[in-house]
Structure 1
Amino acid sequence: MTRVLTTHVGSLPRTQDVVDLIFAREREEPFDAAAFDACMTAAVSNTVGQQKEAGIDIVSDGETSKISYATYVKDRYTGFSGDSPRNAPADLKMFPSFLQRLVDSGGTPQYARPMCTGEVRSKGQAELNKDIANLKAAMAEHGLERGFMNAASPGVISLFLQNDYYKSREAYLAALADAMKQEYETIVASGLDLQLDCPDLALSRHMLFTDLSDDEFVKVAQMHVDALNHALSDVPKDRVRVHICWGNYEGPHLCDIPMAKMFDTLMATRARYVLFETSNPRHGHEWTVFRDRKADIPDDKVLVPGVVDTTTNFVEHPDLVAQRIERFTNLVGSDRVIAGSDCGFGTFAGFGAVDPAIAYAKLAALSEGAAVISGK
């Protein structure tokens, strides 16, 4: 049997010194730029080293320098100012006492989400190139050959940084796709794989499009995929990963659109690797969608199921991880499955439900489970 490789969705817990510097920049407070760069370089090296120790084959920089997986674009592209409305997920609105508890506990991160109020254009690739250099240096230091870097999809940018400039959603998505195209190409040209974070293909159903039917939302999601695929038109498909999720938060998730309704949309992405949730209690059963639609999984797709949850501090038993992986290797073979996580462990700088040390214990359990399958 081909050894099952391991990876994760991207973000990892940041140290307090990293968080302090990121928020100093976020608040436009004075900070030492050289100290910032040195801190990020050291932190990425440490993060990559911890991934190697946990047994992860395909590593990331943990999104160390970013305030969040989507809103970082406001710092690298023109056209954003002011603030966007906050839209609590529909399932949390159903349980106002729980939503208030999240607010009181700091579980709803407070950071800038400006509106799009002007033309979206790149400010240059300087910050991206620093991230790439830090990750590649850390991989070389720790003897790792394969890494990936996250980037926001046009659709998720439109979810969190809402449009108040372009004449329509279609026009905004087209502008974002054109602007992000160079970022995607730069990442792949560096030798890293590119991961597109696309919670807009599921999460936005119960955040921004609650007034639509599921079928109407699927049409919106396909519009997002079309914009993304345009931005990826000059990127080799076998270097691209796409991640779909329903929101990386502990909550009832009663309003999540089923994977069965998003399956075709996910498979339509111009990406070889598709990452999705299969561990949390709301989506753990949906591996059966892939079983029942096996004939509709393109032959060139590699499945990257989440085999550890990212919203609780339970550390999965390696045998449970192995069982979750085996469901997919039985479908498409071990050469077309990579073991991953449901989502990131550090989606927002300074916020995360999982203790940092436990996050790496979960990644170690992921690797141990993959080893069990690979040994059969």
Structure 2
Amino acid sequence: MTTIRTTHVGSLPRSQEVVDFIFARERGTPYDPAAFDAAMASAVSETVRRQVAAGVDIVSDGETSKISYATYVKDRYTGFGGDGVRNTPADLKLFPGYMSRLSKDDRNPRYAHPKCIGEVRSRGQEELKKDIANLRAAMAEHGVERGFMNAASPGVISLFLQNDYYKTREAYLAALADAMKEEYETIVASGLDLQLDCPDLAVSRHMMFPDLTDAEFVTVARTHIEALNHALADIPPERVRVHICWGNYEGPHVCDIPMAKMFDTLMAARARYVLFETSNPRHGHEWTVFRDRARDIPDDKVLIPGVVDTTTNFVEHPELVAQRIERFVDIVGADRVIAGSDCGFGTFAGYGAVDPEIAYAKLAAMAEGAGLVRAR
């Protein structure tokens, strides 16, 4: 019988208690550290319980304790401060009316975007070890055998926390790779899989490098992969997942670089598992890139296509999910496909386009669709 496992990109909705604690820490207002730690442990347990109930096989901690999937590094590494540049996606600039409407939405929380102003060095792995302990305890409590933990890639850090210290962008990437190496290895040593979030391989095309040609941007993206692979040099690729993304926001996305142009870069990552978008209206057609280039997919790669969208409150029909899964099964076989989500459901604390209850309904629809494939 065909078995299709299920997972997701990593971030999940946080409770209001968790959000309040995170923003107290973010804004420097008083809070009880012991109560903070207890709230995170409890929330991770509940997050894992809900993933299991929805039918998710390979779970995460939902990135519960992090302010965001990338900028959390400012709290765990030296060298960040001040106020950095906030780049607006090029597609939103093309539709100023819509961009204005987004900017007036006061429901969206505001986050610090510091820049690199000094040497990047680890402050120690204590916060990471707390996250690992919380996830491992929750997995044991709820009977889960396999879990993963997210970490920011050097490239995505350079996207959101831009360089104002190192002489070149390449030097900054190298410093980030050296600094993050221990974090990556600590996650894998704990028995968890490591997921590297790499939106820089796609979204930075229209956020940081809009004046480059696509070919010039691909050259830049390759330097990001080289920095990442350097940091992963001592980790077995079968323990690593890489996620590419064009920006987890509801917008036109008319400036997104096509998957066809990023395919080789994605496949060059030193990771067995590759996660990518194939459900949203801008990238749903790109499963054909994998079909047409099936011979160029390394034999050890496992594909984790997004079979549910993370920017809409529509709950996908399980039959549609099954059809999306089967496209990739036909390309590489069932043993090399895991069902996933397009992106995270809570990439920033306190913000998510999808209602929390609907997010878990989507994960349940994903699991039901995978069950249909198994039953075929």
TM-score calculated relative to the size of structure 1: 0.99
Distance in 2 (CA, whole Å) between partners of 1:94 and 1:125 is: 42
Matches within 5 A, 1:158-177: 158-177=158-177
SS at match of 2:343: coil
SS at match of 2:72: helix
Post-superposition offset of 1:109: 4.5
Question: Are 1:320 and 2:355 matched, yes or no?
Answer: no
SS at match of 1:71: coil
Contact 2:203 2:245 in 1 (8 A): yes
Contact 2:50 2:360 in 1 (8 A): yes
The residue type paired with residue 213 of structure 1 is T
SS at match of 2:148: strand
Which residue of structure 2 lines up, in the alignment, with residue 64 of structure 1? 64
Which residue of structure 2 lines up, in the alignment, with residue 257 of structure 1? 257
Distance in 2 (CA, whole Å) between partners of 1:358 and 1:243 is: 23
- Could you list the per-position Cα deviations for residues 250-273 of structure 1 after superposition, in whole angstroms to 9, with x for gaps in the alignment? 000000000000000000000000
Question: Are 1:34 and 2:20 matched, yes or no?
Answer: no
SS at match of 1:235: coil
Contact 2:45 2:135 in 1 (8 A): yes
Post-superposition offset of 1:107: 6.6
Post-superposition offset of 1:110: 1.6
Distance in 1 (CA, whole Å) between partners of 2:100 and 2:8 is: 31
Contact 2:279 2:306 in 1 (8 A): yes
Matches within 5 A, 1:37-52: 37-52=37-52
Which residue of structure 1 lines up, in the alignment, with residue 244 of structure 2? 244
Which residue of structure 2 lines up, in the alignment, with residue 282 of structure 1? 282
Distance in 2 (CA, whole Å) between partners of 1:34 and 1:349 is: 20
Which residue of structure 1 lines up, in the alignment, with residue 185 of structure 2? 185
- Could you list the per-position Cα deviations for residues 181-224 of structure 1 after superposition, in whole angstroms to 9, with x for gaps in the alignment? 00000000000000000000000000000010000000000000
Which residue of structure 2 lines up, in the alignment, with residue 354 of structure 1? 354
The residue type paired with residue 368 of structure 1 is E
Distance in 2 (CA, whole Å) between partners of 1:249 and 1:107 is: 15
Change in Cα spacing, 1:219 to 1:108, as seen in structure 2 (3 Å) is farther
The residue type paired with residue 209 of structure 1 is F
Distance in 1 (CA, whole Å) between partners of 2:107 and 2:209 is: 23
Change in Cα spacing, 1:243 to 1:167, as seen in structure 2 (3 Å) is same
Distance in 2 (CA, whole Å) between partners of 1:15 and 1:338 is: 28
Distance in 2 (CA, whole Å) between partners of 1:101 and 1:312 is: 18
Contact 2:6 2:340 in 1 (8 A): yes
Distance in 2 (CA, whole Å) between partners of 1:107 and 1:345 is: 16
Question: Are 1:88 and 2:88 matched, yes or no?
Answer: yes
The residue type paired with residue 81 of structure 2 is S
Distance in 2 (CA, whole Å) between partners of 1:42 and 1:99 is: 37
Matches within 5 A, 1:1-376: 1-106=1-106, 109-376=109-376
Distance in 2 (CA, whole Å) between partners of 1:193 and 1:138 is: 15
Distance in 2 (CA, whole Å) between partners of 1:358 and 1:321 is: 16
Distance in 2 (CA, whole Å) between partners of 1:231 and 1:324 is: 33
Post-superposition offset of 1:356: 0.1
SS at match of 1:38: helix
Distance in 1 (CA, whole Å) between partners of 2:108 and 2:270 is: 32
Post-superposition offset of 1:358: 0.1
Distance in 2 (CA, whole Å) between partners of 1:151 and 1:242 is: 10
Change in Cα spacing, 1:108 to 1:246, as seen in structure 2 (3 Å) is farther
After TM superposition, the runs of 4+ consecutive aligned structure 1 residues lying more than 4 A away are none
Q: How many residues align?
A: 376
Contact 2:2 2:373 in 1 (8 A): no
Structure 2 segments unaligned to the other structure (5+ residues): none
The residue type paired with residue 187 of structure 1 is I
SS at match of 1:230: helix
Distance in 2 (CA, whole Å) between partners of 1:144 and 1:58 is: 8
Post-superposition offset of 1:106: 3.7
Distance in 1 (CA, whole Å) between partners of 2:212 and 2:15 is: 40
- Could you list the per-position Cα deviations for residues 113-172 of structure 1 after superposition, in whole angstroms to 9, with x for gaps in the alignment? 111000000000000000000000000000000000000000000000000000101000
Post-superposition offset of 1:108: 5.6
SS at match of 2:242: strand
Name the % identity: 79
Structure 1 segments unaligned to the other structure (5+ residues): none
Post-superposition offset of 1:2: 3.2
